[in-house]
Amino acid sequence: MHKRTGEMLEMRVARYTIAAVVTTILSLALISTAAGASKRLDLDGQAITGHEVLNGQGGKIRKVVFSTAVSVPGGEFRAFMSEEILQEKHSIVSIYWHGDDASGKIRSSRIANSQARGVMQKGGPRVAVVRPHGFSKYNWRQVSEIRLQIALVEYLSRTFGVKKFNLFGHSGGGLVAIAVAQERPELVATVGLASPKLAVRIHYSRHEGGIPSRYSRQYDPINHIRKLSPEVPVLIVYDLRDKIVKKGGVLPYTKKAEKLGLKVRLVSVKTNAHPYHDTLWLLGRELWKPENSDFRPREE
C-alpha cells in the first residue's frame, strides 16, 4: 500500500515537473517572439551615400538620382521630388511608392507628380519614388528592397531636415509603405494604402495553392505588425472583388490590427474595371471625407 502511494506521488511530481518545463519553454518562446517582433530591421550595409539633382519636366519637381552603398537592380535608384524639399523648407513631407508594374510608366516628373497628387488630392511637398527592379519583377517587395526604401527615408530625413513622413503606396508599393512605417515608426506621421498586400504568406496559401519559392524572401507585413505605432493612423482602401490582391492578403492584417488596438481603418470601395485593383485614385477621395479626417496627411 505504502509502495503504491509512493509511486503515485512520484508520478504526480513527474507530471507537475513536465508541466512546469513545458510552461517555461512556451513562455520563453513567447518572449523570444515578442523580442523578434520589436527588433528593427537592420539595413545590412545598405545606405544612400549621395544624390544628384537633375532637371524636372514642368512645375517645380526635380528628378533626383541616389547613389547606394549596395547596388540595386537595374543600376539606378531615382525619385521625383518637390524642389522645396531640396531647399530644406519642410519638416513634414509626403512620399509615394507605386505598384509593382508601374516602374516603366514613371519616366517623367509629370507622370510621377500626377500619381502622387492623385493620392493626396492636393499639393504640398512630395516625393514619388521609382522602385528599382531590373529585369525581374521578383526583386520587388524583397527584404532587400525594404532596406533600400528605409535607407531612402532616413537619408531624406538626415539630409533635408524632414522630421515626419506621410507614407502612401499602391499594391506592392503599399507593402513598402507599411513596412517602412513598421520598421521606422518614429519617422511616420500617417499611412495611406490602396489595395496593398499585407499578409503575403496567407495570401499565397489561401489563394495560390502555396508560397512560390521566388517569394520566400519577401517582407511579410503581418509578421511585423506589432512594430506599428498605435499613434500612427493607417487608412486602407480596398475592393473586396480584387483579383490581384485577394482577401487573404488584406483582411487577416486588418483583423489582427483591430485586436491589437492599432489605428488601422479599412474602407471598402468599388472600382469600375476588372481586376478591381486600381484603387489609387479612390484613396485620395477617401482621405478627404469628413469621417476620415484623422487619417489625412499631416501638414506643417
50 lies in the same domain as 29: no
- Residue 218 is classified by DSSP as B
To 10 degrees, the CA torsion angle through 292, 295, 296, 299?
A: 140
Determine, yes or no, domain membership for 196. Answer: yes
Q: Given this model, what pLDDT does residue 8 score?
A: 54
CATH at residue 166 = 3.40.50.1820
Residues 101 and 144 in one domain: yes
- Do residues 4 and 58 both lie within one domain? no
Q: Is 66:48 a contact under the CB 8 Å cutoff?
A: yes
CA distance 291 to 46: 40
Residue 300, domain member (yes or no): no
- Answer yes or no: is 257 within a domain: yes
Task: Supply the pTM of this predicted model.
Answer: 0.83
| pLDDT for the residue numbered 138 | 55
- State whether 130 and 154 are in the same domain: yes
- If asked whether residues 50 and 194 sit together in one domain, one would say yes
Q: Is residue 240 part of a domain?
A: yes
Cell of 210: 502555396
What pairs with residue 168 in β-bridges? 96, 192
pLDDT given at position 161: 95
Q: What is the pLDDT along the chain (300 residues), one digit of tens a residue?
A: 555 555 555 555 455 554 444 334 334 433 444 444 568 899 999 999 999 998 765 568 888 999 999 998 878 899 988 888 999 889 999 999 988 865 545 554 455 555 555 555 566 788 989 888 755 555 678 899 999 999 999 999 999 999 999 999 999 999 999 999 999 999 999 999 999 999 999 998 888 887 777 777 889 999 999 999 999 999 999 999 999 999 999 999 999 999 999 999 999 999 988 999 989 889 988 998 999 999 999 988
Choose among 171, 145, 149: nearest CA to 73: 145
- Taking alpha carbons only, the member of 194, 60, 202 closest to residue 121 is 194
Which residues, other chains included, contact 33 with Cβ-Cβ below 8 Å and sequence gap of 6+?
none
Q: Examine the domain organization and report whether 96 and 30 are in the same domain.
A: no
Does 31 share its domain with 141? Answer: no
Number of domains within the chain: 2
Contact between 221 and 175 (Cβ < 8 Å) = yes
- Cβ-contact 144, 108 below 8 angstroms: no
- 155 and 225 share one domain: yes
Query: Is 10 in the same domain as 70?
Result: no
Q: Quick one: 15 and 57 in the same domain? A: no
Considering the domain architecture, whether residues 71 and 35 belong to the same structural domain is answered as no
What would the 3-class secondary structure string for 129-162 be? EECCCCCCHHHCCEHHHHHHHHHHHHHHHHHHCC
- Domain range for 232 is 44-295
β pairing state of 234-238 and 188-194: parallel
Is 29 in the same domain as 51?
no
